[in-house]
Amino acid sequence: MLAQLSRTLGNQPRDLSSLCLAVAQHAPSPMAMMEGAAHIIRYVNPAFCSLIDRPAEELIGKSLCEMLPEKDKCVKLLDRVFRTGMPTGHTEQEHSKRHPVFWSYTMWPVIEDERSVGIMIQVTETTQFREKTLAMNEALILGSVRQHELAEAADSSNVLLQMEISERKQVEEALRSAQTQLSDRAGQLEGLVAERTAELTATNKQLEAFVYSIAHDLRAPLRSMQGFSAMLVEEEGAALSERGRDFANRINRSAIFMDALLQALLTFSRISQQQIQLTSVNLKTVVQSALSHLEKEIQEKAGRVEITGLWPTVLAHEPTLGQVLMNLLSNALKFVRSDTPPQIRLRAEENGQFVRVWVEDNGVGIAPEHQEQIFRLFMRLHGEKFAGTGIGLAIVQKGVERMGGQVGVEATPGQGSRFWFELRKVEGGKEMSDNVSNSRSGNESNKRYSYD
């Protein structure tokens, strides 16, 4: 640089002022020097000229104030610097169409003998400022638009989110209130159920008492009818005509029948109503007990009973099971042709978790269309021919159902019937086959229990 400087200046002796001049001449920053209070331009460097876009000759000798667009501001500044001797910096924006620029400059006083004689201006930042600023502004605006957009988007998504949240909150609320309602309702229903159960239990008890006392009170007059009509024949029979004795016998038989009806109804009612607990029951024992109750009838009819198969332990209520077997066996003994001795086969087989007990007979059989009806209360197929209350099978069905089982029949008219019922098997129970002793001697040939 010194070399260049020396070339510019030629080979003239260098003193400080010419060096400073050289510095100013080559400075990239526009510089100008003014003299006096009028701020007459005495020196401008090339950078200043290209900035203003005017040659030096046009500028030198003129007041800087004339050159500047916003005369007042600049003048004020210049005056202040000149007066106070204090440097200042400034940024100016020029709205000139030709040179839209931002000026950023510094001015300081030239002091001689402790007073200002002139001012030095150095422009530190100009060109592209506006562009840069504009660009920056644009960027900022864009940014702020973007930001605004983003903010809007955020806002709207916020709003959406808020809506979603509030919706979800609503849903949650609805769910919670539904749950509360549900549990309230469940509580109410439970209360209702408890009430109804209590009512039902009370009603059941009442019904039980009612049915019982009806049957009980109805049987008392029947006792009288039966007893006195029998005594009528027995003690006064001779004084009666045959017709009179016949009347008395009919009264007697009717009373007996009605009493049987009432007893069967009582049994049915008891089996339907009573609380029963199911326990492990030895099937075979109950079968044998039922048979021993029917002993007399079996003998009278020259009946034969055969017991085969394995007899597992079942889940049952012993008295009810006894009643069921009694009724089935009693039927098997009864519904035979008058010239045929009844032959009954009892067998048990396992059917998964259940035990199926078969009571098979050689009786008159049942037509398919009647096989369902016969289990109904008061249903009698053979009104005149075979005596009966029509309640026996209803008791069987109700009893088996209450023990958690099922009942059914397979039958062909004229070829006997095979009644069955199923009860739950008890695992680990003893299986009784033919080891059970028969308490009755098998001497009578017209009655036999045979075992496989």
Partner 1 sequence: MYQIHDPEMNPTSDIPTTENQPLLLVDDSENDVELMRMAFHRANFNSPLYALRNGEEAIAYLTGEGIYSDRDKFPHPAVMLLDLNMPMKNGFEVLAWLRAQPEYKRLLVIVLTASMRSDDVERAFELKADAFFVKPSDLDELTAMLRCLRDWLHYNHFPPLK
Chain residues in the site for partner 1 (CB under 8 A): 212, 216, 219-224, 226-228, 230-231, 255-256, 259, 266
Q: How far is CA 54 from CA 23, 50, 58, 275, 342, in A?
A: 21, 7, 7, 125, 148
CA distance 255 to 274: 28
Alpha carbons within 13 angstroms on the beta-carbon side of residue 361 total 26
| Smallest gap from residue 378 Cβ to partner 1 (A) | 20
Q: Are the C-beta atoms of 314 and 423 separated by less than 8 Å?
A: yes
| Smallest gap from residue 396 Cβ to partner 1 (A) | 20
Q: Considering beta carbons, is residue 27 or 256 the nearer one to partner 1?
A: 256
**What is the number of other CB atoms lying within 10 angstroms of the CB of residue 163?**
10
Q: Considering beta carbons, is residue 218 or 302 the nearer one to partner 1?
A: 218
| Smallest gap from residue 393 Cβ to partner 1 (A) | 22
Q: Considering beta carbons, is residue 49 or 214 the nearer one to partner 1?
A: 214
| Smallest gap from residue 376 Cβ to partner 1 (A) | 25
Q: Are the C-beta atoms of 30 and 20 separated by less than 8 Å?
A: no
Q: Considering beta carbons, is residue 240 or 262 the nearer one to partner 1?
A: 262
**Torsion region of 53: left, alpha or beta (phi above 0 gives left; psi -120 to 50 gives alpha):** left
Phi, psi of 91 (to 5 degrees): -125, 135
Phi, psi of 41 (to 5 degrees): -75, 125
| Smallest gap from residue 441 Cβ to partner 1 (A) | 22
Non-local CB neighbours of 366 within 8 Å, separated by 6+ positions: 374, 381, 409, 411, 413, 417
| Smallest gap from residue 429 Cβ to partner 1 (A) | 27
Non-local CB neighbours of 24 within 8 Å, separated by 6+ positions: 31, 43, 45
Q: Considering beta carbons, is residue 60 or 262 the nearer one to partner 1?
A: 262
Q: Considering beta carbons, is residue 24 or 271 the nearer one to partner 1?
A: 271
